[in-house]
Structures are given as structure tokens and as C-alpha cells.
Structure 1
């Protein structure tokens, strides 16, 4: 994983304020590195359960008001709403999951790529916001040599925090060091 240079503050896709130069590219680089790193040898229903239960454990320990979903194709393998999650989180879970499944990259990366030339992907008429959301929180489950086979989604926090929680849990299930401990 590549760390941001010390002079670059991470891009905040939830902010309308001016962002530090290079921060968008740095965050995109981090997410792209995560997609290369987080590869499963296989992904079964038991793997989905273990990943889902780890997300529940993290959410409960931190008292997070989140909904969690793991979907393979049209089959929901794991789904739960922790205390404080709202019905709106269900909409966001589905919309982010569809985005990640359609583009086979994290939903955060779809949104970030849409900002490269200014604007947002949502500004394009062809992007159906009633079905898709280019906000962080959905991450494909990549199987080495196969590609994306499922998605894991969290909703309820700011979008980078949703994304980071999914990445943390995937690292945990794969037995990889946490981002702060990962080789630079």
C-alpha cells in the first residue's frame, strides 16, 4: 500500500470546500492499491459470514449506526442493520452495491474518478441516481485469478469512513496488517 506523501492531506469527497492539490489523486491511488492488495483465494458463504460477523463486531465495539450487506450476484449472503441505522441506509446499501458491482471497483473509486476533470459523475445525465450511488462504502470481493465475485457494503458513516471500515474488515479476514502497519 502506498502512503500519502506527508504534505498531502486526504481528499474529502463529502466537502464542498477547496481541496489540497494532489489530494484527489492520492486518495484514488490509495483505493487502487487496496483493490490490488485485497484479493481472496476463494469466497464461499462461510467466508461471507465471517466477513459479515467481523463487520458486526467492529460496528458494535465502536457503537456505529451502520447497515452491512454482502451480496453475490442477486443473492444476499449477509445483511444486518445495527442499532442507529435507518431505512435510508438500506437505500444507500443497494445503490452503492449496484455501483460497485457494475464497475467492479469500490464505489468510492467510481465517485473519485468522476471528479478528475471537475464536477461529479452524478452530473452526467446517463448516471441514474435512483439506482446507483458513487459514494464510498461498497467494495468488490476479488478472487485471485477470477475477478470480482461479490460486494461488501457498509452504510451509515461518512463515505470514506464506510469504505475504510470495509477495508479494515477485509484485511482482518485475509490476515493482512492494518493500513498503518502495512508495508509502505
Structure 2
């Protein structure tokens, strides 16, 4: 797949992985599932789930650091400002920091995969599900997998193609 195909797939993820409801219980369910997967697979990651006014779930697995929480903060800011998955920003713009002219200070915003908008039917984007600790494409994939699982959708229908290293 090329970048255009990946962008189209991420746009589809954003449009179709929509929650019927989002509250503390949903955040806990999704977050706990991600944490459980991370522990079972030995993934070092931080998961943060929030509405725009407050954090609803946070967990860190072994091997993470305060840096991961800082990456989460910056990814959340990028999702909120640009209203799209932070990995879509990578695909559209590359991973270079935002320019001074953009007004998106690199101290507060980052172009890196792992932040995914939480969209609720009839309400639009109300928050973010953010992962940090793996390569950006993989952070993004963990978030998408969790939303697929929660919504009862097949992961394979939404997954990005594997890339050779």
C-alpha cells in the first residue's frame, strides 16, 4: 500500500469506528482491554483515554517512562486541534515538527502516530484514545484494534497493511 491508500484507510477508520456512547464505563472497558493486551503480549505502552474536559483512563505497562505520558499529551493536543488521527498527520505531512507559522508549538503538539479521535454518534469528536510506547504505526494500530474489538468489528477490515522494516 502507498501513502494515499493508508490515508484513505485512516479516514475510513475515523468515519466508521464511532461509538454509540462514551462515558467513564466505556473508557474503562476499552482502556482495560488495551492494558490486558499489552501485558499478555509484552508491549510497553501507555494508554490514555479522555474526553476533552478530563482524563477518564490511564495505564502504563512495564518498560514505559514519563516520556510516554508526555508524548500522549502532545498527541492528544494534535488530535484535538486538527480533528483527525495523529497518524493521519504523519501520512499527510511527514514527521517533521510543525512550523513556527502554524502556531502549533512542538512543545505542545507532535506529528506522531497513536492519537485517535473518539467520535460519538450524533455528537462528533468528543475526546481521544491515545497510545505511546511503540512505533507510531503500531501505536495507531493498537488504538484501532481496541475500537474494533469494542464495536464488534473485524480488525482485519480496518487494519493498515504491514510494512517491511
Shift of 1:175: 1.0
Q: 1:124 aligns with which of 70, 91, 99?
A: 99
Q: Deviations over 1:53-96 (max 9, x none)?
A: 01001111111110110111131100111111111101101000
Aligned equivalents of 1:78, 1:98: Cα separation in 2: 17
Partner of residue 147, structure 1:
124
Larger radius of gyration: 1
- Give RMSD over aligned pairs: 1.6
Alignment length, in residue pairs? 157
Partner of residue 147, structure 2:
170
Shift of 1:111: 2.4
Aligned equivalents of 1:157, 1:47: Cα separation in 2: 24
> Does residue 16 of structure 2 align to residue 37 of structure 1?
yes
Q: Deviations over 1:77-121 (max 9, x none)?
A: 001111111111011010001111111211111222224xxxx56
Q: 2:115 aligns with which of 138, 160, 171?
A: 138
Runs of 4+ in 1 over 4 A off after TM superposition: none
Partner of residue 96, structure 1:
75
Structure 2: runs of 5 or more not aligned? 160-165
Is the contact made by 2:68 and 2:133 (CA closer than 8 Å) also made in structure 1?
yes
Aligned equivalents of 2:15, 2:28: Cα separation in 1: 23
Is the contact made by 2:43 and 2:61 (CA closer than 8 Å) also made in structure 1?
yes
Q: Deviations over 1:145-170 (max 9, x none)?
A: 21101101000000000000000001
TM-score normalised by the chain length of structure 1: 0.80
- 1:2-17 matches, within 5 Å, as 8=1
Structure 1: runs of 5 or more not aligned? 1-7, 9-22
Secondary structure of the structure 2 residue equivalent to 1:122: coil
Q: Deviations over 1:18-41 (max 9, x none)?
A: xxxxx1111111111111110111
> Does residue 65 of structure 2 align to residue 86 of structure 1?
yes
Q: Which has the higher helix share?
A: 2
